[in-house]
Amino acid sequence: MLIIRNEKFVKINEKIFLMGSSSNELYLNNIYQMGDITILGWLIDNFEEENSKKIELLQNDRLHIILYPDCLPLRKKAKLIKKHVKEAECLSLKFCFIDSFIACHYANRYKKKYVIESGTDAFKSTWYHGGSIKYKLGAIPYEMLTKYYHWKAENVIYVSKKYLQNKYRSTGNQIGCSDTVLMDVSDDILQNRIKRIELDKTKIVLGLIGAARAEYRGHDILIRTASALVDKGYDIEVRFLGSKKGKEKRSSLANSLKIQDKVYFDGYKDKKGVYEWIDNIDILVMPTLAETLGRAVIEAMSLGCPVIGSSETALSEQLGSDCIASARDIKAISLIIEHMILDREYMKYCAYENFYRAKKYNSNVTNKERKKFYDEFYMRIKAEKQEK
């Protein structure tokens, strides 16, 4: 099986590192779901160490990797994707990326069987990306292509339960199955969270996970929310986890609201560091405009952390309705935070609820669902070959 996920890699001292949010667990788990797999990826020559998240790719006899320079023009990349799609037995395509659109086009042309791993709201993630106007110009074409290829697809794995299914309908074989890599944690984790909530302390630490330059993540909303709570007399601290690139704009807003001494940018951390970071915040606040699963939210929930999410996204599938507000509604978000601060029993109920809700996304559960789907996919391919 050929996997195309628009993955970026970097090579340092002959070691290959995954860039971004992918993980070894994702690929090593998928090996057992999909048999031998080949990753088609792109090699980056230069990258910013401080603002880059990387993890060494663990090699495996059943995992193969094909790397080409990321600096190649799109036309040359398309030719390479065409070549490898034509040679592949079957494919798994992560949507929505240009690489996946190209691969899907040639898979249909050469009558190759494929699975779409549907994990992105094409329009929102492009429109709210920020930066150049090219993202807004590309939002509608991306949305149309995503809808078209979902409609044509015979096999789709949605990371959501309803959100993406309603946006990108498919009449083919489909399941809703998270691709979050989440292992089981002991009840001691929950008890430690309860002890933190019961501490007699006035400072409340609010956290948000996402790159500082990502306009849609809601950094500015959280800063404004924190400012409103400080004006009411609350002792609030805000911590951001993720790439610091673009923090100048966020810092400027904090300065204008006179809370610059209460806002911190903690940069990237490894998985253990992320869990430690979550353990040291009181409430994760994610007023994001685009989210189809919420890996960060699910990880926080699994540690019993109270979480507030946005109603415009799939976060309402994970969180209780009382912890959901419109992404831009500073007043509503402030009221939920105040409720948690003033009623610690309620805050503890949120911790309990999140801890047990997250159990549904445990990898022991999702891996079984994914394996069953891919097993049936292979069986259909085998049956069609026998008929021929």
CB 317 within 8 A of CB 333: no
How far apart, in whole angstroms, are the C-alpha atoms of residue 229 and residue 244? 24
Cross-strand partners of 174: 156
How far apart, in whole angstroms, are the C-alpha atoms of residue 374 and residue 115? 9
Give the model's pLDDT for residue 294. Answer: 79
Q: Is the pTM of this model over 0.85?
A: yes
- Nearest Cα residue to 21 out of 299, 340, 247, 281: 299
| Model pLDDT, residue 51 | 46
The 3-class secondary structure across the chain, one letter per residue, is CEEEEEEEEEEECCEEEEECCCCHHHHHHHHHHHCCEEEEEEECCCCCCCCCCEEECCCECCEEEEEEECCCCHHHHHHHHHHHHHHCCEEEEEECCHHHHHHHHHHHHCCCEEEEEECCCHHHHHHCCCCCCHHHHHHHHHHHHHHHHHHHCCEEEECCCCHHHHHCCCCCEEEECCCCCCCCCCHHHHHHHHHHHHCCCCCEEEEEECCCCCHHHCHHHHHHHHHHHHHCCCCEEEEEECCCCCHHHHHHHHHHCCCHHHEEECCCCCHHHHHHHHHCCCEEEECCCCCCCCHHHHHHHHCCCCEEEECCCHHHHCCCHHHEECCCCHHHHHHHHHHHHHCHHHHHHHHHHHHHHHHHHCHHHHHHHHHHHHHHHHHHHHHHHHHC
How far apart (Å, rounded) are the C-alpha atoms in residues 112 and 12? 35
The span from the CA of 65 to the CA of 118, in Å, is 22
The pLDDT of residue 377: 93
Predicted pLDDT at 179: 83
Residue pLDDT tens, the chain, 388 long = 899 988 888 888 878 888 766 666 666 666 566 677 888 999 988 666 544 567 777 777 788 889 999 999 999 999 999 999 999 999 999 998 899 999 999 999 999 999 999 989 999 988 887 667 888 888 999 999 999 999 999 999 999 999 999 999 999 999 999 888 787 788 899 999 999 999 988 999 999 999 888 888 999 999 999 999 999 999 999 999 988 888 999 999 999 999 999 999 999 888 888 999 999 999 999 999 988 887 889 999 999 999 999 999 999 999 999 999 999 999 999 999 999 999 999 999 999 999 999 998 888 888 888 889 999 999 999 888 888 6
